[in-house]
Amino acid sequence: MNVSDRDHWNQRYTERPWPIDPSPWLVSNAGLFTTPGRALDIAGGTGRNAIWLASRGWDVTITDVSDIAIEVAAARATSCGITLTTLEIDLAASDLPDGPWDVIMVFHYLDRALFSVFARLLRPGGLVIGSLATIRNLERNERPPLPYLLDEGELPALIDGLDLTEYDESWEDRHHDARFVARRKAPSESST
Ligand SMILES: C[S@@+](CC[C@H](N)C(=O)[O-])C[C@H]1O[C@@H](n2cnc3c(N)ncnc32)[C@H](O)[C@@H]1O
């Protein structure tokens, strides 16, 4: 267990609640999620995105290193009348849970190495959707710190074995994020 990540985030979640509204980027792509399937929310925190998707009939597994975040997510799901599968995982020490997943969500947790495993974990036709802060975010916000920030324009080169179908990098609501959707080709689309 990476005690420092867990302790840091447990303390953060104990001090003040995390926003409960789902990511506007996720919501703006609601049309991609009309057919429910299996979804994985990586470092999903207190579940704002997992709960939004599960409330649309999806079978969602949320992972996080913070046991407090996982407890909050599970309790919020219960109060919404839905079920989440919860996994307390330190991604610095453990692999992502095996797929196949129809959707992988990665919001505000940057681990560049994960991008090389998404294609293997996704079902053909499956999607990765996410939003990650870029280095320009430091112009207006102290956090996240540098190790958790993408360089400007870095994201497309991280996408590995998937087609980048949507990409936007801009200021929105005082945050500078790279927002993306990437898709694993279905077999019928694969080049011969
Ligand atoms: C900025 S929050 C984002 C939470 C959520 N994705 C969201 O957008 O609301 C980052 C999350 O990453 C989790 N995290 C940090 N280090 C981690 C690690 N080594 N393994 C798994 N989760 C980690 C934290 O506990 C926290 O919930």
One-letter amino acid at 105 equals M
Residue 3, pLDDT score: 62
Residue 66 lies in a domain: yes
Residue 190, pLDDT score: 62
Q: Is the CB of 114 under 6 A from ligand 1?
A: no
Q: Is the CB of 108 under 6 A from ligand 1?
A: yes
3-state secondary structure of 32: helix
What CATH number does the domain containing 134 carry?
3.40.50.150
Residue 55 lies in a domain: yes
CB 120 within 8 A of CB 98: no
CA 109 / ligand 1 centre spacing (Å): 6
Residue 41 lies in a domain: yes
Residue 53, pLDDT score: 98
**Cα 15 from Cα 136, distance rounded (Å):** 27
Residue 177 lies in a domain: yes
Atom of ligand 1 nearest to the CA of 2: 19
**Cα 180 from Cα 191, distance rounded (Å):** 23
Residues ≥6 apart with Cβ < 8 Å to 162: 118, 119, 122, 128, 182, 183, 184, 185
Q: Which two tokens mark 6?
A: 């867990």
Per-residue model confidence as pLDDT tens for the chain (192 residues)? 456 899 999 999 999 888 899 999 999 999 999 999 999 999 999 999 999 999 999 999 999 999 999 999 999 999 999 999 999 999 999 999 999 999 999 999 999 999 999 999 999 999 999 999 999 999 999 999 999 999 999 999 999 999 999 999 999 999 999 999 999 988 888 654
Place of tokens 């990665």: 106
**Residue 41 structural domain:** 3-10+36-186
Q: Is the CB of 64 under 6 A from ligand 1?
A: yes
Query: In the chain, how many domains are there?
Result: 1
